[in-house]
Amino acid sequence: MSNVETEPAELRCGATVDGGRPAGKTRPTALPGVEVLTAREVPLGGPRAMLVRRTLPQRSRTLIGAWCFADHYGPNDTATGGMSVPPHPHTGLQTVSWLFSGEIEHRDSLGSHALIRPGELNLMTGGHGIAHSEVSTGRVPVTHGVQLWVALPDAHRAAARNFEHYVPAAVRLDGAEIRVFLGSLAGDTSPVHTFTPLLGAEIILGPGATVELGVDASFEHGLLVDSGDVRVIDTLLRPAELGYVPDGTEVLALTNESDGAARAILLGGPPFGEEIVMWWNFVGRSHEEIARAREDWEASSDRFGVVQGYPGNRLPAPALPNATILPRSNPPRRRPAPER
Ligand code: MN
């Protein structure tokens, strides 16, 4: 997926993001320990612009662990709202594609040609540089899922291109069905290597179900609700909301308060201690780095390679903003609530 905004604004702390569109707001909650981050709708672009609900990054929060970007989309009619993103570059990050429904054809400059399907992790590493395209095949009528980005830590942010595929088994715990695609949860561990400790899992809760999940207390977590109303500890999240739980929490209690099944994605990791600069599809550490990545893409540099087999033109980079792109980091740390 590409951050295909026609005027991608600089992203920095305290700024309105995305070219003046209203940034997501933090809804006050009764419990100071859980923040509710609401989504804003962003067109993904391409010939058939698909709207996605973006909860990261936003004004009040840039990262949850190393997770730096969270787009949630669908359920869409594939014929009119499927994914169609021409070849575009990435640096300094990994992309995680996770579908609930649909089928997306992935091609990248490593030579990978893969079908992305529900319940299967597809993790692409675009450290120094990679390019890829993503197109709904049209064979499945509904397109529905998330795309998430992971910021690479300084020591590994020029990592070689890579593309990994993993299908986690479903784990049952209380009334929950859990698929752990990165990290460890509910007794299951993903074998996929990450450059910082991470958690990524899909959780499906039956009607009225409650599950208590032991989690790493050094991790902060985010629960992105896809469907249903899910109470996290003591805060109710509605569909498309991302509930942020600071580190210091050892048990995440989730309850499905809706009549049907609920589904959510749980993200986690230790607070990412580095400031990052995000612009378009690049994660770097300075404006100059971002400008160089843009120049390299526009010059068809070997840095990104060539996506073979895509029937069309690649995406041109938008113009850089006039102002220097400044680093982003999270707001000052809050102390977790003493009791919850
Ligand atoms: Mn992409």
Q: In this structure, are residues 119 and 167 in contact, taking their beta carbons and an 8 Å threshold?
A: yes
Q: What is the DSSP letter of 259?
A: S
* 268 contacts: CB under 8 Å, gap ≥ 6: 64, 65, 183, 198, 199, 200, 215, 216, 219, 220, 221, 222
Count of alpha carbons within 13 angstroms of residue 168, beta-carbon side: 27
What's the mean pLDDT in 192-214? 97
The two beta strands, 35-37 and 26-27, are antiparallel
- Least Cα distance to 192 among 173, 215, 164 occurs for 164
Among all chains, which residue has been given the structure tokens 């169609």?
Answer: 84
**16 Cα to the center of ligand 1, angstroms:** 23
Amino acid at 202: E
Q: Is the pTM of this model over 0.75?
A: yes
Top-confidence residue, 117 or 328: 117
**pLDDT of residue 9 exceeding 60:** no
The domain ranges of the chain are 25-269
pLDDT for 24 beyond 80: no
What average pLDDT score do residues 10-29 get? 39
CA of 76 to the centre of ligand 1 (A): 19
pLDDT surpasses 60 at 47: no
Q: What is the pLDDT of residues 226-260, one digit of tens each?
A: 999 999 999 999 999 999 999 999 999 999 999 99
Distance 44 CA to ligand 1 centre (A): 10
* CATH fold label, 25-269: Jelly Rolls (2.60.120)
In the reported structure, the alpha carbon of residue 250 is separated from the centroid of ligand 1 by a whole-number distance in angstroms of 33
